[in-house]
Amino acid sequence: MAKVSIGLRGWRFEESDVFTDEGEFKPLDEIPPEPRERLVRLTYLVDQPCDACYLVHGESELKQCSSAAIVYGEPGEEVLLCEPHEADFLYWYREAGGKAHRGEATFRDEFHEWFHAGGRAPDGYGGLEHVETGRADLPSPPDPEEIHRRLNEDFEGRRIDLHEGYEEEDDDEDTADLDLDDVDLGTDYPSR
């Protein structure tokens, strides 16, 4: 199967990782961890403004900011861009040392600092060629509220009551109970 972008260009997913044979999104617990993390993160990013436009216009003129169309970087440290500012990012990444920050927690901050200091791509700097095929054939990403509900619905954590003791769940060994009545919390322990 091919790789596809969902919601924003940039992050690409193996179709077989995120879609069923019928072309619908798989349940989240069937999606491998890395693509699932990116897909969940995309639900937050889809309607966000372009980072570069935001740096130019600021929060007071947020209406002037273009919506992001492209995402680069890792979840949580991603850079969101509109199409006109993609060339600036690519120039920074390829020519102005941005590649050295790939995978680092400071990736987004480094781009922001470069851009805020006046860094821009030269006129006519080429971006990436994107091939858009079958965009209308892709299902819409799940609703963010639906994703969060699905992430929390089947949690089967173990509850531990310290007053009752802790039981190890190991079929090979006898279970051990911790009796808190035998613990002397008033004992003075030596210090250095």
C-alpha–C-alpha distance, residues 159 and 38, integer Å:
30
- Provide the number of structural domains found in the chain: 2
Comparing CA positions, the residue from 65, 72, 53 lying closest to residue 12 is: 72
Identity at 190, one-letter amino acid code: P
Phi, psi of 70 (to 5 degrees): -140, 145
Contact assessment for residue 1 and residue 35, using Cβ atoms and an 8 Å cutoff: no
Q: Is residue 16 part of a domain?
A: yes
Check residues 28 and 153 and name the one with the higher pLDDT. 28
- As a whole number, mean pLDDT of residues 107-120 equals 96
Residue that is last in its domain, among 73, 102, 121 = 121
Q: Is residue 137 part of a domain?
A: no
What is the value of pTM for the model shown?
0.66
Same domain, 52 and 117: yes
Same domain, 41 and 76: no
For the four alpha carbons of 158, 164, 168 and 172, in that order, the dihedral sign comes to negative
Same domain, 112 and 94: yes
Q: How confident is the model at residue 128 (pLDDT cuts 50, 70, 90)?
A: low
Q: What is the DSSP string of 44-89?
A: HHTTPBPHHHHHHHTGGGGGGSPBP-EEESSTTS-EEE-HHHHHHH
Q: According to the model, what pLDDT value does residue 63 have?
A: 76
Q: Which residues pair with 25 in a beta bridge?
A: 19
Q: Is residue 191 part of a domain?
A: no
- As a whole number, mean pLDDT of residues 90-114 equals 95
Q: Is residue 151 part of a domain?
A: no
> Which whole-number Å values give the CA distances from 7 to 115, 133, 163, 188, in the listed order?
25, 14, 49, 60
Q: According to the model, what pLDDT value does residue 95 have?
A: 93
Residue that is last in its domain, among 121, 136, 155 = 121
Residue that is last in its domain, among 103, 121, 139 = 121
Residue pLDDT, tens place only, 42-100: 988 988 999 999 999 888 777 777 789 999 999 999 999 999 999 999 999 999 999 99
C-alpha–C-alpha distance, residues 2 and 132, integer Å:
13
Q: Is residue 112 part of a domain?
A: yes
Q: According to the model, what pLDDT value does residue 161 have?
A: 53
Tell me which range, 71-75, 172-176, 180-184, is most confidently predicted by mean pLDDT.
71-75
Q: According to the model, what pLDDT value does residue 148 have?
A: 58
Q: According to the model, what pLDDT value does residue 166 have?
A: 43
Structure token pair of residue 145: 């509220």
Query: What is the domain range of residue 19?
Result: 1-46
> Which whole-number Å values give the CA distances from 76 to 46, 62, 71, in the listed order?
14, 21, 11
Phi, psi of 6 (to 5 degrees): -125, 120
Residue pLDDT, tens place only, 134-171: 545 555 555 666 665 655 555 455 554 555 544 444 44
